[in-house]
Structure 1
Amino acid sequence: MDTPKNTSSTLLERVRTHRLTTTFTLLATLSVGILAGSILTRNVSGKEQSEVNSTDAKPLVIPSPVALSNGFSQIVKQVGPAVVNINTEELPKPSSNKRRRGGQRLPQPSDPNGGGDDDSQQSPGDMQDFFNRFFGGGQGGDDSDGGAAGERRALGSGFIVDPRGYIITNNHVVDKADKIYVKLSTDPDGGPGDEGRPATVIGVDKDTDIAVIKIDTKEPLPTIKLGNSDGAQVGDWVLAIGSPFALSKTVTAGIISAKNRSIDEPSPNGVSQTQFQRFIQTDAAINPGNSGGPLVDMAGQVVGMNTAIYTQSMGSQGVGFAMPANIIASVYNMLIGPEHKVVRGSIGIQFQVAQSSAVNRVYGFSSGVIVGVVTPNGGAAKAGIQAGDVIVSIDGRNIKDGDDLVNDISARHVGSTVKLGYLRDGKQNTANVTIGDRAKTYADITGQPDDTSTPQETDAGEGKLGITVSAIPASLSSKVGIKGGVIVTNVRPGSFADEIGLGKGTIITAINRKPVTDETSYRAIVSTLKSKDDVVFVIQSPIQKNLNSYVGGTLP
C-alpha cells in the first residue's frame, strides 16, 4: 500500500522540476530575442542614417518683407498711432440726482430740424438706449442711475485730430461719465489702476452722437486726417480701427456697403425720428468697444466714425454704421468754438417725413414738403406760411424732399433770411423767412428746456466739488462761536470733495484764503475755480471753538 504513494510523490517532484526548467528556458529565450532585436534595429537605423544622402537639400530662408498690393498694413502704420482707447467711469449717484448735460436724448420735433409729423415723437432716450445696448456700457453695469448701483465702467475708441490733444469720439462713449481716461497707442497696457490720461469734455452734440474731448500733452501728438465722405463710393475698401472688447489696436477690413442709411429705432407708433443721423454702412467688423473709432479709406483718411451695429448676438454680423466725415467736421468746428455747442437753423415748421405719390398728384407737385404744423412765433409763422402749404424751393433752388429742406435750413446762420417758394391752392408764392435757433424752437414746441445750453446749478459747488451746502444753523453757530461760513449737507460719492475727505457736516469758513461768510460768498468763490486749480478749505471744528484744520487738493 506504500509503494504507490512513493511513485506518485516522485512523479509530482519531476513535474515540478520540469515546469521550473521550462519556465526558465522560455524566459531565457525571450530575453535573447529582445536583445537581438534591439541590436538588429540599432544596426539597421544606423545603417539608414549613414547611407541617406541629404547634401542636395536646401535650407529654408525667410525672405525680406514685401509690401502687399492691398496696402492695408501701410495704412495702419500711418493712421494707427492717432487712434486711442477711451475708458470711462460713472460713479454711483443718489436716485434723486438731477440729469446733467450729456444725458439721454430728448425726443426731437419733426420740423426742418426734426423730420417727422407731430405724432412721430420718440420717447426720451430711445435712440440713446439703442446705442447703449451695443456700446455705451456694454463693458460693465446697466444704465440705471439708482443709488444702489456701483461704479460703472465703459469702453470706447477715438481718434486724435489736433496735435494739442483734441480727440473725436461718440457722445454715447462719454455720456454720463464722471471720469474719462485716454490711452495712446504708445502707452503701455499697464494693469489695474493704470487707466490712462485724464480727459475733459469740450462739447457734445446728441443729435449726431458726436463728442470732442481733450487730453493735456507737452509734446505734439500724432493725428489723422478727415477725408471727404461725399466722395466715398459703395464698394470702396475701408478699415475699422479701435478697441473691441478691450482689445486695443484692432484692425478689421471691409467695404462700404451703403450710404445715407438711417438706423433709428422707431418710436412706439412705428415712425422713425432722428433727423441728423445718416450713416455709412460697412461690413468691416465692428464690435462693442469700436464705437468712436475711425473708418479709414485707402488714402488713409477718415471717411466715417464707427457708431453702431445691427446685431442679435452683441457682436459683429457684418452690418455696421459710421457717421460720415463731412458731418463730423462740421460738428467738430462748432464744438471747439467759444460756446462749445452746435447751433442749427430752423424755420419753425413740422412736416410728414414720407408720403404717398398719390398725395403729390392730388396736391399738384412732384417734389417738395407739405407743411403739417407751423410753430407760433417761429420764422415761418411770421412770414405767413400756413399748414397745408407745399414748400418747393429755397432761394430759387428746387428741393427734393424733407431731408433736403432740413439739411439746407439747419446749416444756415441764426438770424439770416431765406427766400422760400411754396404752393398754396396750386398757386406759386414766395416768402422771406428769418432763420431761428432750432434748440429754442424745439423748446417752445415741447415745453422742455434748451438741452444744448449749460444748466444752471442750484449749488455752484455741486458740479465742481461734489458737495451741497447751506447756512449754518444758529444753534451750531453759537456753539462753535463763528458768525460766518457754510455747512456741507451732502457729498457725492467719488467726487473731488469725497476724495480729499470733505465730509457731511463739515463747516467751511474759507476757500483759498478767501473768507466764506455765507452761501452767496461761497458760490462766488467756487464759480471762479477751474480744472487743475489747487483748492484749500479752512474747516472749523463743530465741537470745539477756534479749532481750524486745512483740507485741500487739485481739481480734476
Structure 2
Amino acid sequence: MGLFDDDFYSPKVSRKALKEHLGARKQGGWRRFRLKNRKSLQLVLMSVIATAVVITALYGILFGFSPTKKLSNLDLSARAVHASDTIRPAVVSIINEQKFSLDLNGGALEKDSEENGVYKEAGVGSGVIIQKDEQYAYIVTNFHVVSTAHRVKAVLTTGKRLEAEIVGMDQITDLAVLKVDAKGIDYVAEIGDSSKLRAAEFVMAMGNPLGMGEAITFGVVSVTRETVPVSLGQNGVLDWEQEVIRVDAAINQGNSGGPLVDLNGRVVGINSMKISNFGVESIGYAIPINNVVPVVEELMEKGYVSRAFLGVSMIDLQQYWSRQQLEADAESGEDSTLNLPKEVYEGIIVLEASGPAKEAGLTYNDVIVKLDDTKITSTRDLRKYLYSNKKIGDEIVVHFYRGKQLMKATVTLGENKPES
C-alpha cells in the first residue's frame, strides 16, 4: 500500500477520468490561450511605455530637452498677452506740466505765482485707474511724478488727454491719487494680493518709459519683500526706508507710477524706482499693492495720510559735521558750535521746533539722542520709531542734549496735517 492509498491523494488516474479531462481541455483550450496571450500583450505594452518615459526623462536631464517645454512656453506667452490685454485700458500716462516765465531767463515759476507764463511738459510718468464712480475715475501714481507739477494731464491708451486733479499725495510712501472725468472710461484695474507673490514668479511692468508711449517689460520677482533706504528730499540723504518688491523687469524713467501686473492681469504693485549705478542691470522696485491700498483709501478720504507729528525740522548730526568739515573739533572730540560731550557723535539736530515739540520746550540746536528707550542715531531712525510705534495723541519722551547737558521732555504727539 502506498502512502496515498485513498482516492483523493492517489497519483493513479483511470483511463475514463483521463479521457474526460482531455475532452474538456479541447473544448476550452483556445479560450484559455487567448486570455493568457492578452495578459502577456498588456504586460509588453506597459513595459514599452514605461521604458519610453524613462528614456525621455534621461534624455531631458542630459540634453535639457522636455517634450512639454514648447507647450509651456506657448502657455506662458498666451497668459502674458491675455493679462496685458486685460489691464491695458486701465493704464495711463501722466504728464507733469509746469509754468515757465516768459522773460529771457524762462525759468520755472512758483506754484502760487500769478505771473503770466507758458505751461510746458516738465516730466512724464505712469498711473493706473483703480476706482470709478459716476463722476470721476481715480488714478494711482507716484508722489515724485506729480509733486512738482503746476497742472497734471492723464493720457488714456486711446490717446485721449484728460485734465487731472490731485486728490492727495504722500511723500513717505511715494504715492499720489488723481481724479479725472469718468466719461468714456469703462475699465478699472483688478487689484491682486502682493502677499501671495513668490520668488521667480513672472510679472510685467507697464507704463510710459521715457515718454515713448505705453510699453510692457517682462521679468520675474527677484525678492518678494525687501527694505531699501530712500532719500525723501531727493538730496542724497537717506532719511527713510521703503518696503518694496524687487523685480528684474526693466523699469525706466517714466515707468514710475505704473502697475506691476501678475499673469492674471491683476495689479500687485506700483512701480517706483530702479538702481541705475554703473554696472547694475535690471534691478527695479515696486511698492506692494497691499501697502498701497490703505494709503490710497486715506488719500481719497482726507487728501493726506494721518501720522503722529513731533514738530521738528532736523538734520543728522553726522551730516552736519561732514558739511561743516570741523576737522579741528573732530580731533579734540568736541564740536565748538554745539558744545557736545565728546562721546556724543550720533543724533538729530533740531533746526526748528514747532507745534508739540515747541510746546514741550525743544529749541534750535538741541540734539535728540533717544525717543523713549530707543536710541536715535539718524532721521531715518526717528521717523521709523515714530511712524511704527506711535499714534496721534500718544506721549513720547524725548532725550536730548542742550550743550553738554542731557535733558528730557515729554511731548504729546499731534497730527501732521498738510499746510493749507
Deviations 1:116-158 (A, max 9, x none): xxxxxxxxxxxxxxxxxxxxxxxxxxxxx996x8843654321
Determine if contact 1:390/1:423 at 8 Å carries over to the other structure: yes
Post-superposition offset of 1:168: 0.5
Give the secondary-structure state (helix, strand or coil) at the position aligned to 1:284: coil
- The letter for the 2-side match of 1:391 is K
Query: Which residue is 1:305 aligned to?
Result: 270
Amino acid at match of 1:248: E
What residue in structure 1 maps to residue 327 of structure 2? none
2:394 is matched with 417
Contact 1:159/1:224 (<8 A) preserved:
no
**Offset of 1:216 from its aligned partner?**
1.8
Which residue of structure 2 aligns with residue 549 of structure 1? Answer: none
**Structure 2 equivalent of residue 178 of structure 1:** 151
How big is the shift at 1:163?
2.7
Tell me how far apart the structure 2 counterparts of residues 423 and 99 of structure 1 sit (CA, whole Å). Answer: 37
The runs of 5 or more residues in structure 2 that have no matched partner are: 1-70, 320-341, 402-406
How far is 1:170 from its partner? 2.2
Is 1:85 aligned with 2:58? no
Alpha carbons of 1:385 and 1:324: their partners in 2 closer, same or farther (altered >3 Å)?
farther
Distance in structure 1 (CA, Å) of the matches to 2:372 and 2:295: 26
**In 1: Cα distance, 2:387 partner to 2:79 partner:** 39
Distance 1:401 1:299 in 2: 42
Residue deviations 1:192-226 (CA, integer Å, cap 9, x gap):
xxx43333222233454422111222465322315
Residue 193 of structure 2 corresponds to which residue in structure 1?
227
Q: 1: CA distance between counterparts of 2:270 and 2:82?
A: 20
1:322-364 CA-partner distances (Å, limit 9, x unpaired): 33435533432332124x2344322245474889xxxxxx979
Q: Does 1:163 align with 2:136?
A: no
Cα distance, 1:159 vs. partner?
0.8
TM-score by length of 2: 0.56
Q: 1:420, 1:431 within 8 Å by CA — same for their partners in 2? A: yes
Matches of 2:383 and 2:99 in 1, distance apart?
A: 38
Give yes or no for the alignment of 1:99 onto 2:110: yes
- Of 221, 228, 234, the match for 1:261: 228
Question: Paired residue for 2:76, among 55, 68, 71?
Answer: 68
**200, 207, 218: which one aligns with 1:252:** 218
- 1:283 matched to 2:256: no
Separation in 1, partners of 2:369, 2:232: 28
Alignment of 1:148-547 (within 5 A): 151-152=120-121, 154-164=123-133, 165-174=137-146, 175-184=148-157, 187=158, 189=159, 195-218=160-183, 221-225=187-191, 227-228=193-194, 237-244=202-209, 245-257=211-223, 259-264=226-231, 272-275=237-240, 277=242, 279-297=244-262, 301-311=266-276, 317-338=281-302, 340-349=303-312, 350=314, 352=316, 370=347, 372-373=349-350, 375-376=352-353, 378-380=355-357, 382-383=359-360, 387=366, 390-391=369-370, 393=372, 403=380, 405-410=382-387, 416-420=393-397, 432-438=410-416, 452-454=418-420
Deviation at 1:294, TM superposition (A): 1.3
What are the Cα deviations for residues 444-493 of structure 1, in whole angstroms up to 9, with x where unaligned? Answer: xxxxxxxx434xxxxxxxxxxxxxxxxxxxxxxxxxxxxxxxxxxxxxxx
Matched residue of 2:297: which SS?
Answer: helix
Relative to 1, partners in 2 of residues 1:160 and 1:408: Cα closer, same or farther, differing over 3 Å? farther
TM-superposed deviation, 1:253 = 1.6
Give the structure with the larger strand fraction: 2
On the 8 A contact 1:353/1:402 being kept in 2, the answer is no
Contact 1:261–1:281 (8 Å) recurs in 2: no
The alignment-based identity, stated in percent, is 26
1:379 is paired with a residue whose SS is helix
Contact 1:202/1:213 (8 A) holds in 2: yes
- Unmatched segments (≥5 aa) in structure 1: 1-62, 104-144, 190-194, 356-361, 440-451, 455-556
1:293: Cα distance to partner? 0.5
Conservation of the 8 A alpha-carbon contact between 1:260 and 1:278: yes
Normalising by structure 1, what TM-score? 0.44
- Secondary structure at 1:285 match in 2: coil
Distance 1:411 1:333, change over 3 A: farther
Amino acid at match of 1:416: G
Q: Residue deviations 1:506-531, cap 9 Å, x none? A: xxxxxxxxxxxxxxxxxxxxxxxxxx
Alignment length, in residue pairs?
Answer: 316
Alpha-carbon separation, structure 1, partners of 2:377 and 2:353: 26
Contact 1:383–1:432, Cα closer than 8 Å, also in 2: yes
Q: Residues 182, 146 of structure 1: CA spacing in aligned structure 2 closer, same or farther, 3 A cutoff?
A: same
Q: Relative to 1, partners in 2 of residues 1:260 and 1:347: Cα closer, same or farther, differing over 3 Å?
A: same
* Secondary structure in structure 1 of the residue aligned to 2:76: coil
Post-superposition Cα deviations, 1:243-287, rounded to whole Å, max 9, x if no partner, equal 32524252422323572222439988xx61443655544321112
The aligned amino acid for 1:181 is A
In the alignment, residue 341 of structure 1 is paired with which amino acid?
Y
Q: Secondary structure at the match of 2:154?
A: strand
2:228 corresponds to which letter in structure 1? R
Structure 1: distance between partners of 2:359 and 2:232: 34
Seen in structure 2, the aligned counterparts of structure 1 residues 415 and 181 have a Cα distance that, compared at 3 Å, is closer
**Contact persistence 2:168–2:300 (CA under 8 A):** yes
Counterpart contact for 1:212–1:332, Cα < 8 Å: yes
